[in-house]
Amino acid sequence: MKIRTVIIDDEPRARKMLRSLISEFFPDVNIIGEAASADEGKLVIDRTNPDLVLLDVEMPKGDGFSLIESFEDLDFDVVFTTAYNDYAINAIKHSALDYLLKPVSIDDLKVMFDRYKEKRSKLRSKTTEAFFIPEVLGSARQDQKIALPTGKGFKVIRLRDIIYGEASRMYSTFFLSGGEDICVSRSLKYFENLLAEYGFMRVHGSSIINLDHIQEYYRGQQGKAGHVVMSNGAQIGVSRSKRVDLLGKFALD
């Protein structure tokens, strides 16, 4: 499977050089989009859903770091490219896969792509797809069972036992009614789509909740976001953009 890659750089020559090197020497990499600014880059990433983003640091109207911070859930790897070596520490803080100095060489690209493949290989060896276990026809949606992949195999649990999930880059941690938690090497975006029709909702960039486990809702004060209290006492923030959707689930406004 090819590495679906996006290049974001305000310099046309820099984009052309990367595109040429990758096309000639790395046949397992597919460049699926390019952008010349942070704003344009966000649109391209949202549209193409890449595996890897080669991102310039200094650009007009927003730098590469602010672009990464604008995403609620990072389900792609980032490699910063820059002509300066002053940003290395900041790149590390943003959990970058790598940091390449311009002009980028073939050797630098090879090391970076090898690092990407090694990381992905380790993730695949630890995980499988989550999948639902067939239930008796007519059973309640929260009685549905789901198999969550773990490092040793997978764990089967009922949806009603999941209280909420939290994101941490490419990983998601689910907190269960029995006090147990399970870490899965899948992004929260993956589970947001998978669980939407089963009574789960993304209420924040880093949180998905089981609506059946909501105990209380508190409206935010003076423009601040509100929060819900779950059955285990956890307080989960509700972003302002998700407030209307959440209240709509309960026919409230």
Give Cβ neighbours of residue 252 (< 8 Å, ≥ 6 apart): none
Residues 60 and 141 in one domain: no
Is pLDDT larger for residue 127 or for residue 249?
249
Instruction: Name residue, tokens 């060896």.
Output: 125
What is the per-residue pLDDT across 71-128, written as a single tens digit (0 to 9) for each? 766 778 899 888 776 655 555 555 677 888 889 999 999 999 999 988 877 655 555 5
Residues 118 and 56 in one domain: yes
Q: How many domains does the chain have?
A: 2
Residues 112 and 151 in one domain: no
Instruction: CATH number of the domain at 73, please.
Output: 3.40.50.2300
- Rounded CA-CA distance 85/83 in Å is 7
Residues 154 and 214 in one domain: yes
Question: Of 126, 141, 164, which residue is a domain's last?
Answer: 126
Give residue 187's domain range: 131-249
pTM of the model: 0.56
pLDDT confidence of residue 236: 94
What the block records as the tokens of 53 is 């983003």
Residues 190 and 164 in one domain: yes
Confidence of residue 41 (pLDDT cuts 50, 70, 90): very high
Which residue stretches of the chain are H helix? 12-25, 38-48, 64-69, 88-93, 106-126, 188-195, 240-249
Residues 179 and 94 in one domain: no
Residue 159: strand, helix, or coil: helix
- Rounded CA-CA distance 76/97 in Å is 10
Question: Of 77, 94, 126, which residue is a domain's last?
Answer: 126
What the block records as the tokens of 253 is 């406004």
pLDDT confidence of residue 136: 43
| Cβ atoms of 168 and 182 closer than 8 Å | no
What is the longest distance spanned by two Cα atoms in the chain? 61
Alpha carbon distances (Å) from 56 to 9, 135, 232, 250: 5, 49, 43, 44
Residues 154 and 242 in one domain: yes
Residue 101: strand, helix, or coil: strand
AA identity, residue 246:
L
Question: Of 110, 126, 142, which residue is a domain's last?
Answer: 126
What is the per-residue pLDDT across 183-230, written as a single tens digit (0 to 9) for each? 887 888 888 888 988 899 999 878 999 999 999 999 877 666 789 999
Is pLDDT larger for residue 97 or for residue 3?
3
